[in-house]
Amino acid sequence: MKFLIGLIAGLIAFPIVAAIYFLGGFAPAAVSARAFPFEGIIAGGALEARLHREAPKRDLSSFTTADFVAGAQTYRKGCDGCHGLPGQKPLVPKMYPQPPELFTPDGYVTDDPVGFTYWKIKNGIRMTGMPSFDGVFSDEEMWRTAALLASADKLPSQAMDILKQPMFPPGAAEQEKAGDSKTPVK
């Protein structure tokens, strides 16, 4: 009986405490705030479970150099500003979560099945800045970009050449320099 009363009291108290925490302005909301309790487990766990259920499978070895080159071109159109390039930092200011730098050893997704990465590109990642590219790029473009990222540590030089081009066209950098020299020295 005591147990039952305790259980019911607990069931009533939990949503009240949670409501005060979230609606009372105690939960972190700013980009630079720390994660709220269990945030990682809730968000990451749901995504992981979904990927296992739903992500399609494809053999990475079926992708050719031409696929990686096409994937690099798509990456340059839709991704580099947020996720960076080999040797070049992303352009985005602070975000939460911050987009991982997908061409650094810390950010590589080379251990993930290529289908997981394809799923993330197609569907985006809810409650993060990761957009869905469904309808923006074709299915094959998304697969090739996923294959590119799955092989990020061992890409053919033809794909690397595309990824190594500067993020701004050279003209833009020159203009910026010219602008700087016009600012008065004194």
Of 83, 84, 101, 150, the one binding ligand HEC by CB under 6 A: 83
79 counts as binding ligand HEC under rule CB under 6 A: yes
- Other residues' Cβ atoms within 10 Å of the Cβ of residue 74: 22
Q: How far apart are CA 142 and CA 122, in angstroms?
A: 7
Q: How far apart are CA 164 and CA 110, in angstroms?
A: 19
Q: For the chain, where are the alpha helices, taking DSSP H only?
A: 2-23, 39-54, 65-78, 80-83, 114-123, 139-150, 157-164, 170-182
Question: Which of the stretches 28-36, 62-70, 114-122, 158-166 binds ligand HEC when contact is defined by CB under 6 A?
Answer: 114-122
110 counts as binding ligand HEC under rule CB under 6 A: no
User: Shortest approach of ligand HEC to residue 39 CB, angstroms?
Assistant: 11
Label residue 125 exposed, middle or buried (CB < 10 Å: 0-12, 13-18, 19+): middle
Of 99, 104, 110, 160, the one binding ligand HEC by CB under 6 A: 99
User: Which residue, 53, 84, 55, is CA-closest to 149?
Assistant: 84
160 counts as binding ligand HEC under rule CB under 6 A: no
Q: Rounded to 10 degrees, what is the CA torsion of 97, 102, 104, 107?
A: 50
73 with 162: CB under 8 angstroms? yes
120 counts as binding ligand HEC under rule CB under 6 A: yes
Residue placing its CB nearer to ligand HEC in the complex, 131 or 156: 131
95 counts as binding ligand HEC under rule CB under 6 A: yes
* Interaction pattern, residues 164-183, with ligand HEC; x per rule: CB under 6 A: --------------------
For ligand HEC, the binding residues (CB under 6 A) are 75, 78-79, 82-83, 92, 95, 97, 99-100, 109, 117, 120-121, 125, 128-131, 133, 145, 149
